[in-house]
Structure 1
């Protein structure tokens, strides 16, 4: 699969290249994100010229743009291998498929082959996690696929074999109302252990479920233990993002798949507009679908901030990943960019809350497989 892409960036699917000589000047007016999404679908060329405006004419926000109020529940399911488990190079697909099948078998009462037209769809745990969520007509028309209310966090990459008794774990970040469905996931993981994981279906047992008490703290509290079979959910605190640094290192720890004008971006094509525009769109959609509505910031200051951030690649490379889709009956290429990059510029302050929140929401395509994961780290040294 080709990873090359034309220069320029796409934000909300529009052509954001600079206009050529003689292009008409554009004026940006603050428009709520919901209205901007609908207008983009109807008038892509008009939006293209507006977004191509010289960034020096847009006003840079003086304060950080507010991140939406999203309720996040970060869980870790701790298991023990009962048989040898042969894990693939990237286990995200294996975990997602196993959890999805086990959840469907656990909760589906109609036994229909698909969820289309099911009367129980709006009340079904499986449908909530794995089927397209309900959305406004404008949003549904604009996007061919809408984000699911969870992010998968599989174990470290690399082919390996776990012997009986070896520990293994998988993480899930549940978004909004999906957090209330934790008992269904616990039951599904218990059933999944009996089905087995990996190519040979090595069985495992669920031992405990941990919940992070403060997002990003790596402090976990056991909310479920198999020996007691009781669930005691905890509250996950979302800390304030703090002050933005002058520059920050962004470590991509699972492949990031960003698409522009029908082509996936490789390491040489990745820029601030592609990365941060995609991230802001994802957060806006998650807030609309699973939160209290779209974020309160306007598109003009958002794009003014993005235009004032410079992305400097440090060690970026393309990693190819192939998975088999049992639903489609075919192999799929799901490669993406891995490595580290550096962000700096005056726009970093405005986007800092979104960048911080994005660590738990991931960015780009296939986030429900665990792709698009990143962490913010202190910058090694000032840019020359």
Structure 2
């Protein structure tokens, strides 16, 4: 048996089915994951932030489950921000993958991602607010840029072929009034951005200072 941990995020209306998702996962003796179909057995389910038990050995502790509102955290008075690309970022423009990105590109990608998810799974994004934050992003300056192109692929059992998941990795630092952008950047940490996010691409971390 293999050992590993996996993170599930229930978006929008799906949060209403938390108990059903837990019961479904717990009812399966083991999972087969990956091209080699390695076996995994469910040991426990934890609340990601506080690491409190939600399920263990048949016991369900629903009081540990929480719902979070994304895009709500503020960072008043902060003028610097670093964005770290943890998994390949894939953003396409005019049919070509971008080999470098700036702050406006990141913010546009984030607002589109949030809008697409709320449209599909429930919630609401003010179009005017999204357009306004995209316009404001043009005033933010890039102070350091350390990106590189990473070649990466995965095997698709459905297509019986390799999929190209190459993209940008590295870190960027920006200066400007971050108050307007902090909620969107925090949301991106949870939702990922760019293309192929369902395969783990576009994971970012954000540090303010």
**Aligned mate of 1:230, from 53, 56, 60:** 60
Structure 1 unaligned spans of 5+: 1-81, 86-166, 213-217, 380-384
Name the residue aligned to 2:44: 208
Q: Kindly tell me the number of residue pairs found equivalent between the two proteins.
A: 205
Query: Equivalents in 2 of 1:277, 1:230: separation in Å?
Result: 40
The list of structure 1 runs, each at least 4 consecutive aligned residues, that deviate by more than 6 angstroms after superposition, is none
Gaps of 5+ in 2: none
- Correspondence for 2:198 among 368, 374, 379: 368
Distance 2:9 2:149 in 1: 26
For 1:172, what is the secondary structure of its paired residue?
coil
Q: Which residue of 2 aligns with 1:283?
A: 114
Contact 2:22-2:55 within 8 A present in 1 as well: no
TM-score by length of 2: 0.84
After superposition, residues 166-205 of structure 1 pair within 5 angstroms as 167-182=3-18, 183-184=20-21, 187-188=24-25, 191=28, 194-205=30-41
CA contact (8 A) 2:35 2:157 kept: no
The Cα offsets for residues 242-278 of structure 1, whole Å up to 9 and x where unpaired, read as 3241011111111111111111111xx2112221111
Deviations 1:316-353 (Å, cap 9, x if unpaired)?
Answer: 1111211122333322101111111112223x322221
Taking structure 1 as the reference length, the TM-score comes to 0.48
Q: CA deviation at 1:190?
A: 5.7
Match in the other structure for 2:85: 252
Q: Which residue of 2 aligns with 1:308?
A: 139
- Judged with a 3 Å threshold, the aligned counterparts in structure 2 of structure 1 residues 282 and 300 are, in CA distance, closer, same or farther, namely closer
Q: Between Structure 1 and Structure 2, which shows a larger proportion of strand residues?
A: 2
User: Does the Cα contact within 8 Å between 1:253 and 1:338 map onto a contact in 2?
Assistant: yes
Deviations 1:69-106 (A, max 9, x none): xxxxxxxxxxxxx2xx4xxxxxxxxxxxxxxxxxxxxx
1:80-95 equivalences under 5 Å are 82=1, 85=2
Q: Confirm or deny: 8 A CA contact 2:165 2:201 kept in the other structure.
A: no
Q: Which residue of 2 aligns with 1:94?
A: none
CA shift for structure 1 position 188: 4.1
- Equivalent residue for 2:96? 263
* Partner Cα separation in structure 2 for residue 358 and residue 284 of structure 1: 12
Alignment counterpart, residue 243 of structure 1, candidates 75, 81, 92: 75
Asked whether the 8 Å contact 1:190–1:205 carries over to 2, the reply is no
Counterpart-to-counterpart distance in 1, 2:192 and 2:88:
10
Q: Is the 8 A contact 2:107 2:134 kept in 1?
A: no
Kindly name which structure, 1 or 2, has the bigger radius of gyration based on alpha carbons.
Answer: 1
> Matches of 1:338 and 1:251 in 2, distance apart?
8
In 1: Cα distance, 2:15 partner to 2:50 partner: 18
What's the C-alpha RMSD, in Å, of the aligned pairs? 2.5
Alpha carbons 1:258, 1:275 under 8 Å: kept: no
Tell me the equivalent position of 1:128: none
